[in-house]
Amino acid sequence: MSELQIRGVDAGYGGDRVLSGVDLCVPAGSLTAVLGPSGCGKTTLLRTVAGFLRPTSGEISVGGRVVATATSALPPERRKVTIVPQEAALFPHLSVAANIGYGLRGWGAAARRGRRRRVAELLEVVGLAGYADRRPNQLSGGQQQRVALARALAPGPEAVLLDEPFSALDAGLRGQVRDQVREILTELGATAVLVTHDQDEALSLADQVAVLREGRVAQVGPPEEIYRKPVDIALARFLGEAVLLPATAVGTEADTPLGRLPLTGKASGAGSLLLRPEQLRLVPAAASPSAATVQRISFHGHDAVVLLRSRTGADLLARVPAPLLVRPGDEVGLEVTGRAVFYPEP
């Protein structure tokens, strides 16, 4: 597998620009998640990399080879880039083996032997050895998605594009198939781009997350950095539940309704401070100068999100592990762990 480079890419439809100056490097053998809401340009970016849409400016290269510019572009079949679609899109009249081997060229005796060998290897890799003769309608949704991945990997592409491949699966199956696909890509050292609108999916699977907003890359980096230090408040809200407090920064600390809190860097003046709900710990009311009343509890099994109202009237969120020891109406104290991100007033 090879590095994928996107440099200054603009693209759109009928004169309407959708992508504006997109820069993104996907290191060889890594998985990058392109994350963003509907309409931000994720699918357009995927189509441009795959070769279904030519950029109006900029350049795309795969493994050091330029595959697309505004004036010239290799056709999709010559790019060594394959796609795993939202739904498996398998040929219903072909067996699993025939679906996987469909894109492998050659019909001589040697080519057929090579195809059978490659298909058998991939069936082992995706955990479906023994399923070669089955038809797609005899497989579960998760098995079909693994066949689609094997089909994409069969030609030995330099990059694999995954277009929200888990969105059609039910919630119980989605996490399991995601983990399986990640393991397969890691085992093969594949260079992959996952397009998704699911924050949990992007943060849990990717080596790198690129957040696309209105056709531009708003931020790119490791998942923990993206989550802990978003570049602005809008991104903080998009990337998960956020606790935002008015604050006045003085050096590496800030005065807030919850007391003086440490910051991730130096700042000064008025602004807003970001905490994640898991940074708020509930303690006995008598043990903390910061008190709040429990308003509502959203239970998620392994943990819960507790909506609180502070004495100043601010609504706060705290994520607490099970078992729950509080109920609506309880008075609790608050402690903050870790450092907060400060955003100065515009």
Answer with the one of 185, 219, 235 that is the final residue of a domain: 235
324 touches 304 (CB < 8 A): yes
Residue 325: burial class (beta carbons within 10 Å; 0-12, 13-18, 19+):
exposed
- The number of distinct structural domains making up the chain is 2
* Residue 245, beta-bridge partner list: 273
Answer with the one of 175, 201, 235 that is the final residue of a domain: 235
Considering the domain architecture, whether residues 69 and 127 belong to the same structural domain is answered as yes
Q: How many CB atoms lie within 10 A of CB 27?
A: 15
d(CA 232, CA 256): 19
List, for residues 228-285, the tens digit of each pLDDT value: 999 999 999 999 999 999 999 999 999 999 999 999 999 999 999 999 999 999 999 8
d(CA 269, CA 338): 21
d(CA 206, CA 32): 5
Domain that holds residue 291: 241-344
178 touches 204 (CB < 8 A): yes
Q: What is the mean pLDDT of residues 2-10?
A: 95
Considering the domain architecture, whether residues 261 and 216 belong to the same structural domain is answered as no
Q: In one letter, which amino acid is 250?
A: V
Lookup: tokens for 322? 């099970």
Lookup: tokens for 172? 């119980």
Share of the chain above pLDDT 70, in %: 99
Q: What is the mean pLDDT of residues 187-205?
A: 91
Considering the domain architecture, whether residues 127 and 219 belong to the same structural domain is answered as yes
Answer with the one of 217, 235, 253 that is the final residue of a domain: 235
For tokens 């100068």, what's the residue?
289
Considering the domain architecture, whether residues 190 and 333 belong to the same structural domain is answered as no
Considering the domain architecture, whether residues 69 and 87 belong to the same structural domain is answered as yes
Considering the domain architecture, whether residues 188 and 72 belong to the same structural domain is answered as yes
End-to-end CA gap in the chain:
44
Considering the domain architecture, whether residues 11 and 89 belong to the same structural domain is answered as yes
Considering the domain architecture, whether residues 290 and 203 belong to the same structural domain is answered as no
List, for residues 298-344, the tens digit of each pLDDT value: 998 889 999 999 888 889 999 998 888 899 999 999 999 999 999 99
* Residue 334's CATH number: 2.40.50.140
18 touches 212 (CB < 8 A): no
Per the document, the length of the chain is 346
Provide the pLDDT for residue 1: 60
In the DSSP assignment, the letter for residue 324 is P
* Residue 14's CATH number: 3.40.50.300
d(CA 7, CA 21): 7
